[in-house]
Amino acid sequence: MTDAPIKRREPPKSPHLVTGGLGSPLLWRWHITMWTSILHRATGVALYVGALIVAAWAVSLASGPETYAGFKALLGSIPGKVVMFGLTLSIFYHLGNGIRHLVWDTGHGLDVKSANASAVVVFAFAAAATLAIWAIASQTGAL
C-alpha cells in the first residue's frame, strides 16, 4: 500500500474537437449535404409564408378590382420584388431538392459521392431556373 495519489488519466476528447496539431484542419467541417438539408427546411418555411401570400392574392382577387390593384402594386414594389425573388429561389430549390429526396426514397443515390454531386446539381438548377424565370418575366412585362 502506498500513499501515492491516484493519477487520473485525461478523459478522451471528442474527435470533433481534436486537431492533428498546429495548422492542421479540424476534423469537423461543413459538408455540402448539411447545407442542402438545412436549406430544404429553411426554404420550406419560406414557402409557407409564400403560400399565405398566394392565399392573400386569391382573397384580393375575390374582393374586387381596387383591392387587387393595391395588392399587385404591393408585390410589384421593390420590397415586394425582393420577396418574390427569394420565393422563386426557394420554390426551385425546394422542388429540386424534393425530387432528390424522392430519388433517395427509392434507395438510389445515397452514397457520399452521389449525394455530393446531386447537391451541386440542385444548387445549379435552383440558380439557373430562378434567373431564367426572371429573365422571362422581364421580357413578358411581368415585372
Contacting positions for another protein (CB under 8 A):
41, 44-45, 47-48, 51-52, 54-55, 58-59, 61-62, 64-65, 68-69, 72, 75, 88, 91, 95, 98-99, 101-102, 105, 133, 136-137, 140-143
Nearer to another protein, 32 or 103 (CB): 103
Q: According to the 3-state scheme, what is the secondary structure of the chain?
A: CCCCCCCCCCCCCCHHHCCCCCCCCCCCCCCHHHHHHHHHHHHHHHHHHHHHHHHHHHHHHHHCHHHHHHHHHHHHCHHHHHHHHHHHHHHHHHHHHHHHHHHHHCCCCCCHHHHHHHHHHHHHHHHHHHHHHHHHHHHCCCC
Residue 139 to residue 143: CA distance in whole angstroms: 9
Nearer to another protein, 12 or 64 (CB): 64
From the CB of 61, what's the least distance to another protein, in Å? 6
Nearer to another protein, 31 or 101 (CB): 101
From the CB of 95, what's the least distance to another protein, in Å? 6
Nearer to another protein, 28 or 48 (CB): 48
From the CB of 109, what's the least distance to another protein, in Å? 16
From the CB of 82, what's the least distance to another protein, in Å? 15
